[in-house]
Amino acid sequence: MPLVLAGFGHVGRAFGSLLLDKEVTLRFRYGLKLCLQAILNSDGGLCSSARSGLDRVIDIGTKPLAAYPNWRPGLQPQDVLGKINPGVFVECTPSDIQTGEPGLGDIRTALKTGWHVVTANKGPLVVDFQGLRNLARRNHVSLKYSAATAAALPTLDMALYSLAGTEVLSIEGILNGTSNYILTRIGEGTGYAAALKEAQEKGIAEHDPKLDVEGWDTAAKLLLIGNSVLGLGLKLRDIAVEGITRIPPELPARAKQEGKAVKLIGYLTRAGSHWRAGVSPRAIDRSHPLFGVVGTNKGISFTTDTMGSVTATGGKSDPRGAAAALLKDIIHIFARVQ
Amino acid sequence: MPLVLAGFGHVGRAFGSLLLDKEVTLRFRYGLKLCLQAILNSDGGLCSSARSGLDRVIDIGTKPLAAYPNWRPGLQPQDVLGKINPGVFVECTPSDIQTGEPGLGDIRTALKTGWHVVTANKGPLVVDFQGLRNLARRNHVSLKYSAATAAALPTLDMALYSLAGTEVLSIEGILNGTSNYILTRIGEGTGYAAALKEAQEKGIAEHDPKLDVEGWDTAAKLLLIGNSVLGLGLKLRDIAVEGITRIPPELPARAKQEGKAVKLIGYLTRAGSHWRAGVSPRAIDRSHPLFGVVGTNKGISFTTDTMGSVTATGGKSDPRGAAAALLKDIIHIFARVQ
């Protein structure tokens, strides 16, 4: 099964290295032989024959792609996708939730030329969820994005597979590890600015933490979950987004005194005949299934008609966790599990 | 798709009623039309033509099967299974983890005659896990038992689907709602005897609570999970089982003082080249992902190589929750999810 990998940052590299680590598991547990035939970044790429594959390239770790002898500057996904027998296009370029690019155009090209797509990139789906789903359906291929909806935490799996046959009545999630880490530290008595600085020093928060702390990362994941599970057709503007930057300083301490904890909750709840979608900081108490989700951990809780409330928590937030979610999606496309 | 239902106690009745409630969802979301063609209990059964089905029977609630005009005393699954086009045999008879009967013989008959089997009954699988799995494989049919492994809590789904591609390094679960309820009440200051009596009065504990409080129900579920997920080939005798009946009275109070809580944990952990399987009460602290699982709730936590620790909690423990798990298994047999 041919693979083309676009994006060779932390997640792309982790995916390449995971492919090597899991070769035997894939072959013997799932009957899958994946062959990485092209790796692309924004400047160009490497391309191999069907027989050899590029898996070994990744072994070398942090060496830039351009340093390899068969480097082709300017090589783009569209140069490759039409020329190889379609397999899976693995998309790991940086996420832009305003334009969806560069992933959006490449994913469209891949779907149109008969490639399955698995992506860790929220941008393209946030911008054109329905268009991409329709394109995949028309071309009889899969479009999967577990890695874009909280990575190793099972969110879509839980709703669509483990809760199959139920009606989901509401969803609440702690979907962003960075803001949860900062809130946890604030709950322990650290101020917002100091907690943010600490998170940045530890590599948990980005230099520009806006997307995480202002709630947009949570909102983007919520959009993907709401549209996939509930068919809501949400756009980003339909979600009421409030981040953690304006929490009154006295709130976390008061919450703690009352045995509560402040979390940044993404929620989808029914209000009569329509759904309300939002992201906001909330003080939740001990009986809440997400109360114990601390630090960079994430969690999601579904209320259903027949199975009651079911919650998933944990799952690595690092590039390897995201890579493992990409690989899981590929397994689900081809292998019958159980 | 023809269904035959064996066992018409709480779970069997809840399943019948769920079939009615979910007719539209099954048809339009999953393209499934299920037709209940026979319902059997230990004394006999009802059987219908392929066209009409028996779904409407269940509407009537608690009326005994024998009160219906087409009641056939002495009717057994083997009288029915060979005579109808094979579909799904739904097994909900009482669980006997020593003999596996009456479910074991009936499940064997069903698999041999080409029926898929979904069961809420641990007994047959505890007694002959490998034999039944082989029989299903040889006859190219599915054998599914989500409802027998903690019902609406996704245990097998989580491990086999959501964690596909990972190596599971250890498993810990709170798999029995009754003992967890009693332990929660003990943690709140109630004595063991009073907590058990209260659980019995509330219908949470059975009149004979042995299987629950002595850990055998947890052990049976752990066996199914270990054999399915890790391929361990466990027998009940391979599991070191300790229940909650001999917890030193001072332990829960001491645990509470230390910020811990006592839970009955079923565990599967690696010890060098082999696995240790056991059930025992343990004081776990706040950082443990199962710490917040209180009352009749259940939970399961998997430690993996690539996704870190992933935990599922919640899921209704009542007959409707078990029925929903049976229905989910049927959906997984026939419908492609996502």
Segment B187-213, tens digit of pLDDT: 999 999 999 999 999 999 988 999 999
Q: What is the dihedral of CA B226, B232, B237, B242, to 10 degrees?
A: -40
- Pick the closest to residue B264 from B317, B213, B202, B316 (CA basis): B213
Reply yes or no on whether the pLDDT at B335 is more than 60. yes
Residue A54 has pLDDT above 80, yes or no: no
Given its phi and psi angles, is residue A240 left (phi above 0), alpha (psi -120 to 50 degrees) or beta? Answer: beta
pLDDT bucket at B62, cuts 50 / 70 / 90: confident
- Which positions in chain A touch B316 (Cβ < 8 Å)? 306-308
> For residue range A148-200, what is the model confidence (pLDDT) as tens digits?
999 999 999 999 999 999 999 999 999 999 999 999 999 999 999 999 999 99
Range B172-191 average pLDDT? 95
pLDDT of residue B214: 97
ipTM, 2 decimals? 0.95
Residue A60 has pLDDT above 90, yes or no: no
Q: Which of B144, B301, B306 to mutate to test the interface with A (most CBs of A within 10 A)?
A: B306
From chain B, the residues in CB contact with A153 under 8 A are 310
The minimal CB distance from B292 to the residues A166, A291, A328 is found for A291
pLDDT for B114: 97
Three-class DSSP category at A52:
coil
Mean pLDDT comparison of A47-51, A305-309, B13-17, highest-scoring range: A305-309
Instruction: Report whether A276 contacts A267 (CB < 8 A).
Output: yes
Q: Is domain B2-152+319-334 in CATH 3.40.50.150, yes or no?
A: no
What does the alpha-carbon distance between residue B320 and residue A181 come to, in Å, rounded to a whole number?
A: 38
**pLDDT recorded at residue B6:** 97
DSSP B124-179: HHHHHHHHHHHHHHHTT--EE-GGGTTTTS-SHHIIIIITTTSPEEEEEEE--HHH
Calpha distance B198→B43 (Å, rounded): 33
pLDDT above 90 (res B120) = yes
In chain A, the percentage of residues whose pLDDT exceeds 70 is 96
Over range A61-78, report the average pLDDT.
88
Of B337 and A320, the structure prediction assigns the larger pLDDT to A320
Task: Judge contact between A121 and A91, C-beta under 8 A.
Answer: yes
CB-based contact B309 A314, cutoff 8 Å: yes
CATH second-level architecture of A156-313? 2-Layer Sandwich (3.30)
- The gap from C-alpha A10 to its chain's centroid, in whole angstroms, comes to 14
Single-letter amino acid, residue A181: Y
Contact A320 B306 (CB under 8 A): yes
Residue A159: DSSP 8-state: I
Non-local (6+) Cβ contacts of A305 within 8 A are A166, A167, A169
CB contact under 8 A, B328 and A156: no
Average pLDDT (A71-97) is: 95
- Per the model's pLDDT, the better-predicted residue between A252 and B125 turns out to be B125
Which residues, in sequence order, are bridge partners of residue B278? B240, B267
Higher-pLDDT residue of A63 and A100 is: A100
Where residue B39 falls among pLDDT bands split at 50, 70, 90?
Answer: very high
What does the pLDDT average to over B267-288? 95
In this prediction, residue B56 carries a pLDDT of: 66
Whether B87 has a pLDDT exceeding 60, the answer reads: yes
Answer whether residue B58 shows pLDDT above 80.
Answer: no
- In this predicted structure, the answer to whether residue B338 has a pLDDT above a threshold of 80 is no
What is the pLDDT, as a whole number, of residue B69? 83
Which listed residue (B221, B260, B316, B328) is catalytic?
Answer: B221
At B180 the pLDDT is: 97
pLDDT the model gives residue B68: 85
Decide if pLDDT at B60 tops 70.
no
Angle value at C-alpha A269, between A267 and A274, nearest 5 degrees = 130
Q: Which of A22, A221, A298, A316 is catalytic?
A: A221
Q: What is the band of A50 on the pLDDT scale with cuts at 50, 70, 90?
A: low
pLDDT at B50 over 60: no
Nearest CA in chain A to B292: A292
Whether pLDDT at A116 is above 60: yes
CB pair distance less than 8 Å for B314 and A311 = yes
The domains of chain B are located at 2-152+319-334, 156-313
The reported pLDDT for the residue numbered B54 is 75
- Mark yes or no for CB contact B153/A18 under 8 Å: no
Would you give the distance in Å from CA B13 to the centre of its chain?
Answer: 16
Q: Which of B104, B174, B167, B117 is nearest to B147 (CA)?
A: B117
Q: How confident is the model at residue A338 (pLDDT cuts 50, 70, 90)?
A: low
Q: Please check the confidence at residue B52 and state whether its pLDDT lies above 60.
A: yes
Q: What is the mean pLDDT of residues B101-111?
A: 97
Mean pLDDT throughout B137-160? 96
Residue A35: pLDDT over 60: yes
Is residue A221 part of the annotated active site? The answer reads yes
